[in-house]
């Protein structure tokens, strides 16, 4: 392990603590920077990049820097430029996994049977394509939802597995036992459409780089990327890990593995979407001789908050280990409050926020972080009653709105005529008299001939297979797209987009609509066209939309942020409220049932993330009773409550709660007794179908329909049915809904 030549007088090194400086100056060979919450991770990353460039270790084009969001990539670029005196940093490979893989794949698409102008389809198109294939294969898409099948295929891709890497039975019973075959058909159809989904971007590049026939290409990339830097390494999935390992083997000038990964194993909370905490835990095994540098000095939170977080996460066994500390104030102890029910919890949090507001705290500095989405309703209602402004973070994003998807479909077909999924979406929008039967005829012909829907229109319209009026309409639409496409090289793309929306009749459709939402939809379409002006061309804009969908929040009014714990990662607030710390809710019973100890440890990491979002104050609460799915359930405090170190918390409770007596404080022994009673209670059962059923599971009953298990007593289940209310049934009469 070597350090770079010293530059003690370099201004960008001033102010770094010893651990940060070591992470910046340890240049060659593999380095893992374990960056705890609030320890200056971004500063270390950007300073390290600037240091590599300033010391002449590499040119910008010899650096591969990987982030998880487009926003982080842009911020990194701006910070490095600032550290280098404002000099522009051009030519380097900086971006998200998907963006960088796309850049590579467009250069080598022919090696996996694609054209360089391939389309990147979104999850909506992915589900629609799978539905078509399922219908063709006779698979019941009502029983096996296309979106669920798409999610399972995505998981295969997250693990770097192609259809040929799987045995026929690895899909289990999904799609009637035909999931692997469906996956293969899906990949074949994507190739015909000259399209990829998100998972393909990395999967195709892994396929290319692992092929012995492309050994020279892999060697070329290894020579090119002298230094590799990766942010948020704890969130990488298997495919991302495989891609990085391929590029980092012997990429240094002297054959060393010059890869620096920055992450925090204690903040790995995305296992449900494919993230593998094991990637960061086995870094030393993957890269022998690796150096681990721990960033533990926190610049965000008070000492009490950090000690509480350390106390909870210390109960996890599967971690590399570190201990956050601060030279700042002790601050106030965490408040841990027990309440009778969820409504009382919402009232208490509302009152505490009002008290903070009266003391001069801005609502922008306050957040309520929930474990499950259903928890937000009571807080929203309470805040409305109190007149407290709030915003729920994580709602529908701009580019996911219906009118925006429609407009993007028009633009996609204009740019890429073989984009069947986009064409199908708007072929009869606005209505043109092209019915489902016509579309099915076109699709059947396209599949049989192995051609695109666009080509099928031209070929079938030369015959008498369809009515003259339908042929005329289809040819007119195809002619419009051809004319718009011919204008791409000469017309400004924003003007072209406005022309397409006007001439297609799409804007007129909403102008004529009596729908109350129509004016807003028209404004959104205008905003879409305005957003395009930031990009140099229509293809560049479409690629950006495919890779990045970021919400734009209204920042005009100071307001409380309500969001899930998962959504809060990377954010910070002066005061954080953490409600719902109850067994079964947090930690999630479903997570523990499905993933055992691994699931519990990820839930505990989520608790750690929640606590460390707080700069000055943290409030944790739990309720003895909670209304879920229309029914009241008894609850006991989360085991995480008992794991909080007693010297750093102040406990409060409604009178009589868990043996609290008249005092507003409860004895932890009362909580522990309640937990033991719950642990002795039968929480799960196995039905006649061999399915393990737990409280909170969604199930189906032939007579009563879908519902949620709220209580288990041996083989008897209390279920809150969506339409029939609460009923008690035997477990053999229900089946689990996946």
Q: Any alpha helices (H) in 450-492, and if so which ranges?
A: 453-460, 468-486
Q: Would you call 106 helix, strand, or coil by DSSP?
A: helix
d(CA 38, CA 297): 8
Q: Which of 21, 41, 222, 569 is catalytic?
A: 41
- Whether 276 contacts 160, CB under 8 Å: no
Long-range contacts of 125-130 (CB under 8 A, 24+ apart): 125/421, 125/422, 125/425, 126/150, 126/197, 128/421, 128/424, 128/425, 129/186, 129/189, 129/190, 129/421, 130/182, 130/186
Contact 604, 597 (CB under 8 A): no
**Cβ contact 587:640 at 8 Å:** yes
Our measurement of the distance from residue 294's CA atom to the centroid of its chain's CA atoms, rounded to an integer in Å, reads 26
Question: Which of 25, 125, 158, 232 is flagged as catalytic?
Answer: 232
Residue labelled with tokens 């040819």: 475
Q: Give the per-residue SS3 of 551-578.
A: CCCCCCCCCEEEEEHHHHCCCCEEEEEE
Among 231, 265, 352, 424, the active-site one is 231
The 3-class SS string of 343-358 reads HHHHHHHHHHHHHHHH
Q: How far apart are alpha carbons 340 and 625 in whole angstroms? A: 6
Q: How far apart are CA 280 and CA 295, in angstroms?
A: 15
Contact 667, 660 (CB under 8 A): yes
Longest dimension (CA), the chain: 87
Known catalytic residue at 119? no
Rounded-to-integer distance, Cα 286 and Cα 245, Å: 8
Instruction: Detail the DSSP E strand segments found in 108-175.
Output: 119-120
Decide: 63 and 226 in contact? Cβ < 8 Å: yes
State the catalytic residue, choosing from 365, 613, 617, 695: 613
Match 């007129």 to its residue by tokens.
508
- Among the listed residues 67, 267, 376, 651, the single catalytic one is 267
What the block records as the tokens of 379 is 């807080």
Mapped onto helix, strand or coil, the DSSP state of residue 292 is: strand
**For this structure, is 613 an active site residue?**
yes
DSSP3 helix / strand / coil % (the chain, rounded to 5): 50, 15, 35
Q: How far apart are CA 450 and CA 307, in angstroms?
A: 63
Active site residue 231: yes
Indicate if 569 belongs to the active site: no
Tell me, rounded to whole angstroms, the distance of Cα 127 from its chain centroid: 18
Alpha carbons 46 and 73: distance in angstroms, whole number: 10
Of 42, 55, 207, 441, catalytic: 42
Residue 191 φ then ψ, to 5°: -65, -40
The catalytic residues are 41-42, 231-232, 267, 613
């Amino acid at each position: 392990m070597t350090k770079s030549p010293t530059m003690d007088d370099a201004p960008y090194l001033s102010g770094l603590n010893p651990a940060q400086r070591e992470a910046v100056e340890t240049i060659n060979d593999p380095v893992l920077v374990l960056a705890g919450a609030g320890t200056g991770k971004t500063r270390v990353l950007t300073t390290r990049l600037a240091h590599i460039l300033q010391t002449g270790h590499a040119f910008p084009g010899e650096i591969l820097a990987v982030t998880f969001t487009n926003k982080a990539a842009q911020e990194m670029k701006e910070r490095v430029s600032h550290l280098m005196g404002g000099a522009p940093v051009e030519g380097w490979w900086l971006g998200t996994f998907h963006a960088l893989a796309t850049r590579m794949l467009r250069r080598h698409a022919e090696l996996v049977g694609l054209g360089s102008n391939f389309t990147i389809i979104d999850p909506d198109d992915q589900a629609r394509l799978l539905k078509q294939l399922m219908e063709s294969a006779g698979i019941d898409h009502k029983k096996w939802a296309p979106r669920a099948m798409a999610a399972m295929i995505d998981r295969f891709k997250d693990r770097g597995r192609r259809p040929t890497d799987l045995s026929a039975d690895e899909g289990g019973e999904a799609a009637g036992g035909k999931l692997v075959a469906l996956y293969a058909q899906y990949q074949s159809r994507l190739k015909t459409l000259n399209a990829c989904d998100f998972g393909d971007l990395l999967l195709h590049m892994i396929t290319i780089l692992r092929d012995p026939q492309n050994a020279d290409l892999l060697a070329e990339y290894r020579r090119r990327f002298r230094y590799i830097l990766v942010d948020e390494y704890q969130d990488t999935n298997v495919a991302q890990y495989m891609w990085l390992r391929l590029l980092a083997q012997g990429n240094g000038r002297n054959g060393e593995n010059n890869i620096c990964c920055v992450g925090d194993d204690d903040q790995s909370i995305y296992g449900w979407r494919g993230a593998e905490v094991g990637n960061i835990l086995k870094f030393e095994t993957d890269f022998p001789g690796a150096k681990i540098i721990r960033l533990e000095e926190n610049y965000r939170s008070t000492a009490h908050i950090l000690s509480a977080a350390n106390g909870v996460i210390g109960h996890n066994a599967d971690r590399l280990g570190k201990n956050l500390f601060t030279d700042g104030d002790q601050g106030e102890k965490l408040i841990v409050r027990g309440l009778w029910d969820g409504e009382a919890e919402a009232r208490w949090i509302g009152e505490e926020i009002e008290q903070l507001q009266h003391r001069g705290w801005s609502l922008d500095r306050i957040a309520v972080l929930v474990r499950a989405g259903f928890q937000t309703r009571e807080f929203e209602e309470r805040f409305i009653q109190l007149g407290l402004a709030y915003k729920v973070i994580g709602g529908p994003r701009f580019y996911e709105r219906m009118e925006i998807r429609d407009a993007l479909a028009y633009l996609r077909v204009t740019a890429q005529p073989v984009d069947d999924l986009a064409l199908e979406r708007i072929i009869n929008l606005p209505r043109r008299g092209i019915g489902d039967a016509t579309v099915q005829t076109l699709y059947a012909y396209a599949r049989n001939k192995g051609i695109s829907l666009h080509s099928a229109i031209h070929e079938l319209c030369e015959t008498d297979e369809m009515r003259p009026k339908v042929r005329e309409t289809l040819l007119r639409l195809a002619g419009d797209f051809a004319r718009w496409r011919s204008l791409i090289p000469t017309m400004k793309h924003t003007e072209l987009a406005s022309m397409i929306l006007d001439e297609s009749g799409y804007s007129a459709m909403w102008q004529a609509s009596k729908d109350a939402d129509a004016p807003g939809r028209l404004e959104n379409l205008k905003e879409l066209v305005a957003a395009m002006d930031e990009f140099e061309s229509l293809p560049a804009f479409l690629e950006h939309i495919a890779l990045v969908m970021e919400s734009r929040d209204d920042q005009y009014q100071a307001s409380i942020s309500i969001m899930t714990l998962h959504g809060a990662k990377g954010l910070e607030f002066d005061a954080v409220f953490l409600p719902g710390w109850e067994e079964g809710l947090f930690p999630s019973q479903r997570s523990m049932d499905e993933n055992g100890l691994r699931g519990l440890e990820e839930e505990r990491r989520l608790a750690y993330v929640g606590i460390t979002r707080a700069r000055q104050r943290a409030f944790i609460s739990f309720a003895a009773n909670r209304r879920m799915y229309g029914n009241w359930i008894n609850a006991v405090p989360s085991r995480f409550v008992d794991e909080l170190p007693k010297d750093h918390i102040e406990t409060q409770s409604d009178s009589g709660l868990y043996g609290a007596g008249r005092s507003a404080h409860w004895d932890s022994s009362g909580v522990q007794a309640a937990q033991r009673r719950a642990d002795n209670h039968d929480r799960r059962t196995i039905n006649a179908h061999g399915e393990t059923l737990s409280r909170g599971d969604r199930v189906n009953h032939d007579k009563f329909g879908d519902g949620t298990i709220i209580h288990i007593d041996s083989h008897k289940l209390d279920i809150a049915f969506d339409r029939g209310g609460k009923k008690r049934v035997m477990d053999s009469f229900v089946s689990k809904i996946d």
